[in-house]
């Protein structure tokens, strides 16, 4: 059968549920609520139930008289544990067992126990990878589902629960997916460990707040550029600021410097990269928390994100294959916007000012494109000769970092960027690269990544050797 175009009513519903609006309301796609083990019976009404963990956690869960799991689900877990007892698969590969009964579908995902020192022992990477194969996690199935996130230790259980959240996509614009016209469904994740109750759970607990913002960052990164350009991205950031003020009573400030105001104020890097896109000009967006009462000598923490909403490569035009996926070149800013919101919502930083700086631009082509051989003046006052317009990320970030250094008295600056050439080769596709002038920060970042499952690994910091290679 030939596929027919969307009817007007369907088109209206798509317009009505614009992803940016839904993002601002935090209502797009599946909502996840994290529950304590005592609330496990809540999952009894779910048509599909996932049980996720390593073999030792599955075994302990099945023998726990307080787990509260429905009898028919427990029966399937026991059957799986007995069938897999002694199998080498429990330590070498992920095993997924699917069983449908007249009441519900039960999916048991057993992830490997083998992990090296550069990974988390609970293998959250395997958890997310396995769950993303199921329609409930890709957005193709809007029915509510339940998940038992298991860990032998409390920390393992929390990491497994975070991996469940990472796997649950919030954006799916596939025309074969039913357009939801009512409120999105709510799915539940019960977090269980053999040690007892993991901390920071319950409705709007810290785990739920962090996962909400991980998923918000993923949603932003997945949005196509015809929906998330610099103009609508500013609108999304304004919505996040409003939510933090209204729902959490946070002291949030917002400043937007955009278009030719960037040029007038000396942001030569950001302005030149984005000036060719006249429909949606570049912008520097600054969010602050706890800054209104800060004294001039008070130290701050600043998050600076690369927000290239689309990267054609500029006049150094990418190939058609190289340009695929370039909507994600703003992932650094999305990740740090989510981090800013999570830090505010969990009140993790209360005695310092916290800032987010989004360096937003589209690296496009037009009559005003910056060119190879151009010499531009950055916000820092330094001049830069352009020898590759497809190396735009360092230009926009340099202006953001220089602004932070000049005006915000930072104790720590963290900048984040995507698609930085050799990083994918140096540390692979599963580990981000940490490049730091502070050995202590480098060590803490590595450990935080290992413990949370957001893996990172240090790359060589030796500017006295490398800087002469960049001489112009």
CB atoms within 10 A of CB 70: 19
pLDDT, position 35: 85
d(CA 370, CA 388) in angstroms, rounded, equals 10
pLDDT value of position 86: 64
Is there a catalytic annotation at residue 16?
no
Beta strand pairing status for 105-111 and 48-54?
Answer: parallel
CB 244 within 8 A of CB 345: yes
For 258-286, give one letter per residue: b (16+ CB within 10 A) or e.
Answer: bbeebeeebbbbbbbbbbbbeebbbbbbb
- Active-site residue, from 99, 177, 318, 451: 318
318 is catalytic: yes
Structural contact between residues 251 and 353, judged by C-beta atoms closer than 8 angstroms? no
Which is catalytic among the residues 99, 235, 394, 451? 394
- Cα dihedral: 115, 120, 122, 127 (round 10): -100
- State how far the Cα of 132 lies from the Cα of 40, in Å rounded to an integer: 23
Residue 344's pLDDT is 97
407 contacts 399 by C-beta, under 8 angstroms: no
pLDDT of residue 186: 79
pLDDT reported for residue 172 = 74
Task: Kindly list the structural domains of the chain, giving each domain's residue range(s) and its CATH number in brackets, ordered by start.
Answer: 21-210 (3.40.50.10590), 223-420 (3.40.630.10)
Q: Please give the pLDDT value at position 185.
A: 67
Residue 360: the pLDDT is: 99
Distances in Å between the alpha carbon of 113 and those of 53, 60, 280?
9, 15, 48
Whole-angstrom distance, CA of residue 375 vs CA of residue 386: 6
Dihedral, 35, 40, 45, 49 alpha carbons, nearest 10 = 90
pLDDT under 70 in the chain at which residues?
1-30, 40-42, 86-92, 176-185, 197-204, 419-421
């Amino acid at each position: 059968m030939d596929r027919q175009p969307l009817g007007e009513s369907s088109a209206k519903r798509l317009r009505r549920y614009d992803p940016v609006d839904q993002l601002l309301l935090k209502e797009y796609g599946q909502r996840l609520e994290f529950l304590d083990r005592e609330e496990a019976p809540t999952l009894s009404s779910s048509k599909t139930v996932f049980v996720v963990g390593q073999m030792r956690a599955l075994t302990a869960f099945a023998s726990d008289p307080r787990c509260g799991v429905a009898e028919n689900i427990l029966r399937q877990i026991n059957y799986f544990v007995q069938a897999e007892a002694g199998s080498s698969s429990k330590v070498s590969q992920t095993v997924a067992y699917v069983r449908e009964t007249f009441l519900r579908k039960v999916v048991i995902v057993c992830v490997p126990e083998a992990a090296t020192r550069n990974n988390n022992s609970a293998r959250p990477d395997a958890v997310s990878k396995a769950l993303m194969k199921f329609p409930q996690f890709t957005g193709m199935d809007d029915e509510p589902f339940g998940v038992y996130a298991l860990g032998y230790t409390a920390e393992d259980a929390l990491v497994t629960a975070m991996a469940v959240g990472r796997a649950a996509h919030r954006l799916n614009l596939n025309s074969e997916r039913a357009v939801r016209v009512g409120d999105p469904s709510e799915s539940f994740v019960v977090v269980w460990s053999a040690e007892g109750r993991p901390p920071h759970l319950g409705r709007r607990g810290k785990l739920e707040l962090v996962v909400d913002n991980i998923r918000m960052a993923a949603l932003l990164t997945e949005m196509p550029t015809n929906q998330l350009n610099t103009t609508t991205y500013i609108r999304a950031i304004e919505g996040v600021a409003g939510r933090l003020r209204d729902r959490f009573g946070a002291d949030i400030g917002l400043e937007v410097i955009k278009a030719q105001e960037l040029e007038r104020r000396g942001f030569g890097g950001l302005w030149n990269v984005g000036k060719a896109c006249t429909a949606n000009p570049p912008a520097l967006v600054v969010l602050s928390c706890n800054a209104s009462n800060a004294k001039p000598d008070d130290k701050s923490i600043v998050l600076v994100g690369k927000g290239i909403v689309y990267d054609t490569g500029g006049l150094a035009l990418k190939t058609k294959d190289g340009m695929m996926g370039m909507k994600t070149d703003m992932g650094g800013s999305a990740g740090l916007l989510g981090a800013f919101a999570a830090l505010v919502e969990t009140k993790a930083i209360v005695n310092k000012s916290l800032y987010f700086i989004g360096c937003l631009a589209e690296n496009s082509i037009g009559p005003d494109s910056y060119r190879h051989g151009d010499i531009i003046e950055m916000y820092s006052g330094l001049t830069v000769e352009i020898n590759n317009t497809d190396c735009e990320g360092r230009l926009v970030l340099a202006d953001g970092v220089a602004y932070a250094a000049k005006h915000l008295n930072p104790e720590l600056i963290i900048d984040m960027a995507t698609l930085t050439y050799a990083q994918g080769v140096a540390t692979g596709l599963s580990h981000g690269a940490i490049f730091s002038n502070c050995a202590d920060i480098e060590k803490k970042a590595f450990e935080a990544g290992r413990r949370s499952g957001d893996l990172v690994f240090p790359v060589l910091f030796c500017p006295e050797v490398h800087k002469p290679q960049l001489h112009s």
